[in-house]
């Protein structure tokens, strides 16, 4: 018999205040159950989920095929270090490489681990292939980007709150304005190893670059022997209306990072995928992760990629995204400064002189919709990609009603 997880309400409060570190600001609502595009709290109230674990639940809550893949693999073989071959991992890597037009992949667990992995391979490539002087390699990233929370990842961030008192930070990072090709041109020098960029900035508030910007970046990279690396941890797996955001401009990067939804909304798994000239630099024993590429996570990720294709989720996201965006643009409210998005990757900029974005999120929660406060200036709407048109209509009515107040 399993021990029941039965925590009294007052204990939940106690847990929050005395056992959980305060790194996250939690709302006093306990979510208990999820099904498709809906979650239910401990009182039985339902919410349309447009927070989706922060762009993790592209397949919705509890997709039966993903749950089946999880259970089946858990009953078969969950963990086996890569000292031995395992079939789910090989199947996953083949599928992921084929879909992304990459040659090889390195499996790890969370998004930021894929970022760390990319940086290590980029640096080794810089010294052993490009012949940059040891310890001089530079990686160019963009202002307001988000690549995770490790010390090295925050070293690439321009957000003060993410970095304050966490130094000393990792050197070798240069940040330039996003969507500014001249700034990129100026920043390249003989020590530039790579340009690491989100094709659409997620945490910054769904910031979509001008058409052609990324293609020009790719061209500059090729001309200057600089690696072009896309962080698709948030934009990947159908979110923006293509399987991967790079497909909007037919980009041909040297490497791509996947995470978040790759685990099917069930568990953590991430991948750094790249072309052989980059991936080939890593040798046995130089990098790894205890649980990286475990059969359990690999089996679920493999099925997630199958679902992405078989259920045409990218196309669905493109169509419903256009529809939802057009609807949202009809809302007349002084609290909305701008609405933008691509596929089901949508943000509303909030006029914080009228109402804080955090308060908007709370009002939406009270009205039955989960969204995400983004940098205290926008809210992000990230529905599951298999959400129905009816559910989008319901969500729209909730949003419209809440914003009618301002």
Ligand X SMILES: *Cc1c(COP(=O)(O)O)cnc(C)c1O
Tokens linked to 367: 């009205």
Pairing of strands 369-370, 46-49: parallel
Min CB(115)–ligand X separation in Å:
6
Q: Which of 88, 202, 238, 292 contacts ligand X by CB under 6 A?
A: 202
Q: Which of 49, 144, 218, 231 contacts ligand X by CB under 6 A?
A: 231
- Determine the residue with CB nearest ligand X: 111
Residue with Cβ nearer ligand X (274 or 392): 274
Q: Among residues 260, 342, 349, 403, which one is catalytic?
A: 260
Residue with Cβ nearer ligand X (259 or 295): 259
Min CB(109)–ligand X separation in Å:
8
Residue with Cβ nearer ligand X (258 or 350): 258
Residue with Cβ nearer ligand X (123 or 147): 147
Min CB(328)–ligand X separation in Å:
22
- Is there a catalytic annotation at residue 195? no
Q: Among residues 49, 124, 195, 231, which one is catalytic?
A: 231
- Is there a catalytic annotation at residue 231? yes
303 binds ligand X (CB under 6 A): no
Q: Select from 18-26, 42-50, 165-173, 231-239 the region that touches ligand X (CB under 6 A).
A: 231-239
Taking phi over 0 as left and psi of -120 to 50 as alpha, with beta for the rest, 179 belongs to left
- Is there a catalytic annotation at residue 260? yes
267 contacts: CB under 8 Å, gap ≥ 6: 70, 296, 297, 300
Q: Which of 198, 218, 303, 349 contacts ligand X by CB under 6 A?
A: 198
Spatial separation of the C-alpha atoms in residues 159 and 1, rounded to whole Å: 47
Q: Which of 148, 205, 263, 274 contacts ligand X by CB under 6 A?
A: 148
359 contacts: CB under 8 Å, gap ≥ 6: none
Q: Residues 260-279: x/- map of binding to ligand X (CB under 6 A)?
A: x-------------------
Number of alpha carbons in the 13 Å side-chain half-sphere of residue 83: 4
Least Cα distance to 95 among 314, 310, 318, 382 occurs for: 310
Count interface residues toward ligand X (CB under 6 A).
15
Q: Which of 141, 234, 243, 371 contacts ligand X by CB under 6 A?
A: 234
- DSSP conformation letters of 331-363: ---TTEEEEEEETTEEEEEE-TTTS-HHHHHHH
Q: Among residues 49, 59, 95, 146, which one is catalytic?
A: 146
Min CB(204)–ligand X separation in Å:
10
> Is residue 59 classed exposed, middle or buried when 0-12, 13-18 and 19+ CB atoms within 10 A define those classes?
buried
Contact yes or no for 233/200 (Cβ under 8 A): no
User: Which residues partner with 41 through β-bridges?
Assistant: 31
Min CB(261)–ligand X separation in Å:
10
Min CB(354)–ligand X separation in Å:
28
Residue 205 φ then ψ, to 5°? 115, 40
Q: Hey, how many other C-beta atoms are within 10 angstroms of the C-beta on 277? A: 12
Min CB(392)–ligand X separation in Å:
23
Min CB(247)–ligand X separation in Å:
17
Query: 48: helix, coil or strand?
Result: strand
Q: Residues 106-145: x/- map of binding to ligand X (CB under 6 A)?
A: ----xxx--x------------------------------
Q: Which residues of this chain interact with ligand X, rule CB under 6 A?
A: 110-112, 115, 146-148, 198, 202-203, 231, 233-234, 259-260
Catalytic residues: 146, 231, 260
């Amino acid at each position: 018999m399993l021990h029941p997880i039965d925590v009294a309400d007052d204990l939940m409060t106690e847990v929050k205040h005395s056992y959980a570190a305060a790194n996250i600001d939690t709302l006093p609502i306990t979510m208990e159950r999820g099904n498709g595009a809906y979650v239910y709290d401990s009182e039985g109230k339902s919410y349309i989920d447009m927070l989706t674990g922060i762009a993790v639940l592209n397949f919705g809550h509890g997709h039966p095929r993903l749950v089946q893949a999880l259970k089946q693999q858990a009953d078969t073989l969950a963990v086996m270090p890569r000292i031995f071959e395992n079939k789910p991992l090989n199947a996953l890597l083949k599928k992921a490489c084929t879909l992304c037009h990459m040659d090889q992949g390195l499996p790890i667990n969370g998004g930021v681990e894929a970022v760390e992995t990319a940086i290590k391979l980029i640096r080794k490539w810089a010294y052993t292939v490009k012949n940059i002087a040891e310890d001089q390699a530079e990686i160019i990233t963009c202002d307001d980007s988000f690549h995770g929370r490790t010390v090295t990842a925050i070293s690439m961030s321009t957000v003060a709150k993410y970095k304050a008192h966490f130094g000393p930070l990792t050197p070798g990072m240069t940040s330039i304005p996003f969507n500014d090709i001249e700034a990129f041109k100026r920043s390249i020098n003989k020590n530039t190893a790579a340009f690491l960029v989100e094709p659409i900035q997620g945490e910054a508030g769904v910031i979509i670059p001008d058409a052609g910007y990324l293609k020009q970046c790719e061209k500059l990279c090729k001309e200057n022997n600089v690696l072009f690396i896309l962080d698709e941890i948030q934009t990947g797996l159908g979110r923006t209306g293509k399987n991967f955001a790079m497909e909007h401009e037919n980009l041909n990067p040297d490497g791509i990072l996947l995470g978040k939804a790759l685990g099917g909304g069930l568990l953590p798994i991430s991948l750094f995928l790249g072309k052989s000239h980059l991936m080939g630099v890593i040798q046995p024993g130089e990098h790894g992760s205890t649980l990286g590429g475990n059969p359990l996570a690999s089996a679920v990720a493999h099925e997630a990629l199958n679902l992405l294709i078989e259920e045409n989720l990218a196309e669905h996201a493109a169509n419903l995204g256009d529809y939802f965006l057009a609807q949202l643009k009809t809302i007349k409210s002084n609290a909305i400064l701008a609405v933008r998005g691509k596929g089901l990757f949508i943000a509303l900029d909030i006029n914080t002189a009228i109402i804080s974005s955090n308060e908007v999120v709370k009002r939406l929660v009270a009205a039955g919709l989960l969204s995400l406060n983004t940098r205290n200036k926008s809210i992000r709407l990230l529905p599951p990609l298999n959400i129905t048109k009816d559910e989008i209509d319901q969500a729209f009515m909730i949003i419209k009603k809440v914003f009618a107040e301002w």
